[in-house]
Structure 1
């Protein structure tokens, strides 16, 4: 486990394309982020628990801060166990640098390209990064969600935060804006996950390799959000289907859901319950695949590696369990990122029509205002 943590969590260099003073094209990489140090945990949790796009609570302005305060020490302990903080900023910076290197080569007409990181709940916060981008003065800005599968709670929250920022600040009139909101079925993303799975399958003995259960796992979602029409479960399922097709359907597989919070019904089955159930059925060899995460963070390094692959596996009698690495800086994944942006820059579509649709049972008035705003702002 310690070697896995070193590989996934702490060995990433942090390059910056600081030589670019005035980029022609800015790519804002959007994600929820993670605290780099344990003293950032409380504010990180506070922002999550008071974001109604992410979670809806009764009397949220009071209950949210109470939950954040109550959970801080527990979450700080988990971050200490993976090295003291989240590596998500280091990975995102590295991915962005490598992506822009490829873009400068592929798309000289829109070069130089520069990546920026915009996190929803921790520094660098999206609203601060937007100001940084404006100061740099690019001709074009691409808002690029780093969630391959779209959910109103994740991608939607990040896009809504941009809308909220510009509701309070004037929109630069000399910058063209466009968005990349989802990419769950991109062929190179699929190939990346397939390669990550093969890396782990090949570590099993040949005699049992084809019997290993490929257990895809993704962050869960409350059923009330699913029932309103959130597309996330179907987009995760599409990724799983295509990855298994890329692998030639060589192994048994299933999809489960992790990280449920609170007592309300969420997507099921839970990842830990799935492991327990299959062990009872006699299936004791697994590869866990974090199909909705593009880099290592607390939910891969702690929940999957420590809580499931170590503690739970020993408790229930798993024979062998491995966890596929997130895409991180895999060359295929960097090629995926650069291809997605290059195609977007060239195809002339500033916004995906699907993005402009609300969920059929949407109850969030901010979504309506936000999507109307994007339909006006994202034009060529």
Structure 2
């Protein structure tokens, strides 16, 4: 049965006083906090924020390279706003991604203070790409707190130039203006597709969801690992995202002992260009024709609920599944505030803080057909950080 999990709406109030706490932070502690900057795409908190969110999204040339970017972004945002507002209205009037990220950050702080007392106190900050708190706001808050050491943590487990790359480009661009003297020393958790904690939490959520099927049908339920698609133009220039998503799927299935048949599929395609497939809606239709009825959706590239899980999967694909007679269509619970997930985050950050290497080996390597010079400059900046 389709589960819309409306309890997420009530959690939006979490962290309402975070900004006032932040303003007091520097005066209540003698040591500046070690910052963990949680990077993600963000989402509109209410329907009035939908158009600004869309305009920021369409203005990002790293994500959607289009001619006359700024002019086109305004036009596209205005045209699509009514439809997108309807989608957000269907899931409670806005995105819960901020409240989930705030909760993840608070839990992470507590774990890190115990796990890495030598770098305590730790404080989480949020740098969304398309909605508040945006990167400039976050950096201003960090400067008020006197931050000298920071870890940029990508909440995209699998790296893409369109997601993590775009967030790091934005961070680097604003650091040139807001911290020109490089007073903050940075390191980066830029990808973690096969981290044991990530694999474990996905596996546990899948095992829990499989228990909802009748025992005699359970082993035949098809596991559909769904991730946000990419235009083939991005894939063909050498973006590592498809390989890293597949690596996560492989490790999760190994952890499950290959208990069920499975496929990796792709969602959220827009526009007429060729995108990485197979597309999720076509997959559902195809398996319906093949007589399958038990399909378990696993959003393998998302770490918290937002529009692409709560509306696209639960509502749109849920309706399609019902139309096609897929009576066993379900979705696994998102990672959100699962303690196993928070432990994985804490492990990644603590290891990065104790490492002398500011970035992974992979981050320094540009796509073989990359034409974005700022991408190369950003990589050089973070790779060149001196950690003492």
Q: Structure 1 stretches (4+) deviating beyond 4 angstroms?
A: none
Q: Secondary structure at the match of 1:251?
A: coil
Q: Is 2:277 the counterpart of 1:268?
A: yes
Q: Is 2:266 the counterpart of 1:257?
A: yes
CA contact (8 A) 1:178 1:378 kept: no
Spell out, residue by residue over 1:154-211, the C-alpha distance to the aligned partner (whole angstroms, 9 max, x if none).
0000000011112333335443211110011100000000111111100100010001
What CA distance in whole angstroms lies between the structure 2 residues aligned with 1:4 and 1:40?
A: 22
CA contact (8 A) 1:98 1:334 kept: yes
The corresponding residue for 2:70 is 61
CA contact (8 A) 1:212 1:252 kept: yes
Q: Which runs of 5+ in 2 are unaligned?
A: none
Query: Per-residue deviation at 1:239?
Result: 0.3
What CA distance in whole angstroms lies between the structure 2 residues aligned with 1:178 and 1:38?
A: 36
The corresponding residue for 1:14 is 14
CA distance 1:172–1:94, change in 2 (3 Å): farther
The corresponding residue for 1:198 is 207
Q: Secondary structure at the match of 2:219?
A: helix
What CA distance in whole angstroms lies between the structure 2 residues aligned with 1:364 and 1:50?
A: 16
| Equivalent residues in 2 for 1:38-187, closer than 5 Å | 38-187=47-196
The corresponding residue for 2:234 is 225
CA distance 1:24–1:62, change in 2 (3 Å): closer
Q: Secondary structure at the match of 2:127?
A: strand
CA contact (8 A) 1:49 1:55 kept: yes
The corresponding residue for 1:359 is 367
CA contact (8 A) 2:158 2:191 kept: yes
CA contact (8 A) 2:140 2:178 kept: no
The corresponding residue for 1:340 is 348
CA contact (8 A) 1:155 1:181 kept: yes
Spell out, residue by residue over 1:70-120, the C-alpha distance to the aligned partner (whole angstroms, 9 max, x if none).
000100110000000000000001001101101001111000000001101
CA contact (8 A) 2:231 2:274 kept: yes
2:37 to 28, 43, 46: 28
Query: Per-residue deviation at 1:268?
Result: 0.4
Spell out, residue by residue over 1:45-91, the C-alpha distance to the aligned partner (whole angstroms, 9 max, x if none).
00111110011112223222111110001001100000000000000
Spell out, residue by residue over 1:197-241, the C-alpha distance to the aligned partner (whole angstroms, 9 max, x if none).
111100100010001000000000000100000000000000000
What CA distance in whole angstroms lies between the structure 2 residues aligned with 1:201 and 1:137?
A: 48
**Normalization by structure 1: what TM-score?**
0.96
Q: Which runs of 5+ in 1 are unaligned?
A: none
The corresponding residue for 2:4 is 4
Query: Per-residue deviation at 1:134?
Result: 1.2
What CA distance in whole angstroms lies between the structure 2 residues aligned with 1:153 and 1:290?
A: 18
Q: Secondary structure at the match of 2:296?
A: strand
What CA distance in whole angstroms lies between the structure 1 residues aligned with 2:45 and 2:377?
A: 33
Spell out, residue by residue over 1:337-360, the C-alpha distance to the aligned partner (whole angstroms, 9 max, x if none).
111111111122211121011100
What CA distance in whole angstroms lies between the structure 1 residues aligned with 2:2 and 2:327?
A: 20
CA contact (8 A) 2:129 2:135 kept: yes
